[in-house]
């Protein structure tokens, strides 16, 4: 009997030729997303762009879909060209003082560490909490947060190891101490459920080209209402005034900013990307975030068993907080970059990251894909 997963799988033409287990690098674009972007481009030509204001109505519908995915309100969501750009909005809006502390876990995604190191030029202290042997300790993390801590930078899932910190506990701890919490959800949003309000983050950002299955250059950011009370936009444009839709008579003078997170977006947006993102969100909301999460974690568990049987060692086999869509395995004495290349020649797409082979299945994968991975690893 055909399942809803079989139907979803047919949306991904790449699966006809490739065993694609590499969403943590790039998510393949579903047919519905490509068609949505193409329809927009055709519409531009057919209507000579005279209806461009209505494109923002469509964008607001996608904004509402994104909000629904993370349990937020539409006015909390801004479109961003990348997670790094969204983090830049936040970093530039903070009045940094000498001695302010910024905390991250060691081996974070470069976005977070680069910003942290750069802030030391402004007199801030950047602390990377150690994780000996890859083990996360909540007590060790909390001990690094002192009274001078202004900001914590964290990924919901670590891109290289699959670490999945207990973000709700962390968010509650930081909220009690008045510490701003930035969460990068790029490496899991679309695969794992996320409740924006439950994690108490001031900002959550996700670039859409991975698990949200959108093109590069479009993402989403949740900016909490209390943060919007003080965070000034770092970009001003003709859309910065609350009555920007009156394009026949644009406002001159100081802008009265819109109340919602759209105040941070700037002018014209990546509309092909927004339409593509909306099509992918519609598909995922229809399938159900809870069902997708269960499916992805089931496939990830099977991938771990296959990697283990092939001689690999996974953090999730010995450490807590590693049940995630990213499965990373160390193979003693094996050059995993060459191993990934060998699998690529067999049209099995995976990645190598920091000495580990990384496998990242999404809901469109199936057991047959993982069997092909098993066959490809045989005799490695």
What is the tens place of the pLDDT at every residue in 166-195? Answer: 999 999 999 999 999 999 999 999 999 999
What is the sign of the dihedral through the CA atoms of 67, 70, 71 and 76?
negative
pLDDT in tens, 15-58: 999 999 999 999 999 999 999 999 999 999 999 999 999 999 99
**Could you read off the pLDDT of 63-97 as tens digits, one per residue?**
999 999 999 999 999 999 999 999 999 999 999 99
| Residue 359 is assigned to a structural domain of this protein | yes
Same domain, 301 and 261: no
Is 195 buried (19+), middle (13-18) or exposed (0-12) by CB count in 10 A? exposed
Q: Note whether 279 and 295 are same-domain residues.
A: no
pLDDT on residue 3 = 83
pLDDT of residue 380: 62
Q: How many domains does the chain fold into?
A: 2
| Domain-terminating residue out of 285, 306, 329 | 285
Distance between CA atoms of 332 and 21, rounded to whole angstroms?
A: 22
Residues 67 and 193 placed together within one structural domain of the fold: yes
Q: Do 181 and 293 belong to one domain?
A: no
Same domain, 122 and 212: yes
Nearest by Cα to 137 from 114, 112, 170: 170
* CB within 8 Å of 38: residues ≥ 6 apart: none
Domain hosting residue 44, numbered range: 40-285
Contact 138, 163 (CB under 8 A): no
Same domain? For 341 and 232 the reply is: no
Low-confidence ranges of the chain (pLDDT < 50): 1
* CATH classification of the domain holding 343: 3.90.1150.10
DSSP one-letter code for 360:
B
CA gap 363, 211 in Å, rounded: 10
**Number of Cβ within a 10 Å radius of residue 42:** 10
CB atoms within 10 A of CB 256: 11
Distance CA 286, CA 298 (A): 20
């Amino acid at each position: 009997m055909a399942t809803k997963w079989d139907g979803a799988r047919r949306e991904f033409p790449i699966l006809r030729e490739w065993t694609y287990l590499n969403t943590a690098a790039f998510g393949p674009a579903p047919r519905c997303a490509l068609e949505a972007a193409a329809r927009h481009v055709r519409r531009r030509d057919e209507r000579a762009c005279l209806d461009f204001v209505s494109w923002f109505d469509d964008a607001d519908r996608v904004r509402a879909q994104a909000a629904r995915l993370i349990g937020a309100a539409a006015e909390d969501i801004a479109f961003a060209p990348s997670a790094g750009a969204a983090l830049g909005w936040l970093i530039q809006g903070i009045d940094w003082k000498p001695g302010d502390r910024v905390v991250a876990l060691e081996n974070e995604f470069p976005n977070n560490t680069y910003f942290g190191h750069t802030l030391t030029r402004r007199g801030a202290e950047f602390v990377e909490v150690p994780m000996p042997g890859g083990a996360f300790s909540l007590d060790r993390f909390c001990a690094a947060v002192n009274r001078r801590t202004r900001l914590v930078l964290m990924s919901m899932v670590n891109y290289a190891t699959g670490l999945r910190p207990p973000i709700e506990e962390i968010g509650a701890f930081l909220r009690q101490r008045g510490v701003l919490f930035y969460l990068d959800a790029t490496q899991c949003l679309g695969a794992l459920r996320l409740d924006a309000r439950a994690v108490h983050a001031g900002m959550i950002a996700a670039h859409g080209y991975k698990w949200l299955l959108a093109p590069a250059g479009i993402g989403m950011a949740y900016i909490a209402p209390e943060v919007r009370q003080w965070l000034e936009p770092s970009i001003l444009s003709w859309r910065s005034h609350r009555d920007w839709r009156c394009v026949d008579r644009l406002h001159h003078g100081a802008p009265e900013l819109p109340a919602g997170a759209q105040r941070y977006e700037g002018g014209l947006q990546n509309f092909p990307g927004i339409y593509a993102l909306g099509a992918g969100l519609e598909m995922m909301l229809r399938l159900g975030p809870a069902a997708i999460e269960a499916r992805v974690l089931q496939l990830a568990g099977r991938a771990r068993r296959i990697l283990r049987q092939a001689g690999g060692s996974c953090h999730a086999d010995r450490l807590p907080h590693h049940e995630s869509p990213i499965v990373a395995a160390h193979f003693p004495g094996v050059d995993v970059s060459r191993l990934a290349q060998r699998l690529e020649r067999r049209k099995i797409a995976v990645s190598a990251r920091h000495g580990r082979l990384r496998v990242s299945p999404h809901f469109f994968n199936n057991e047959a894909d993982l069997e092909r991975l098993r066959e490809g690893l045989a005799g490695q």
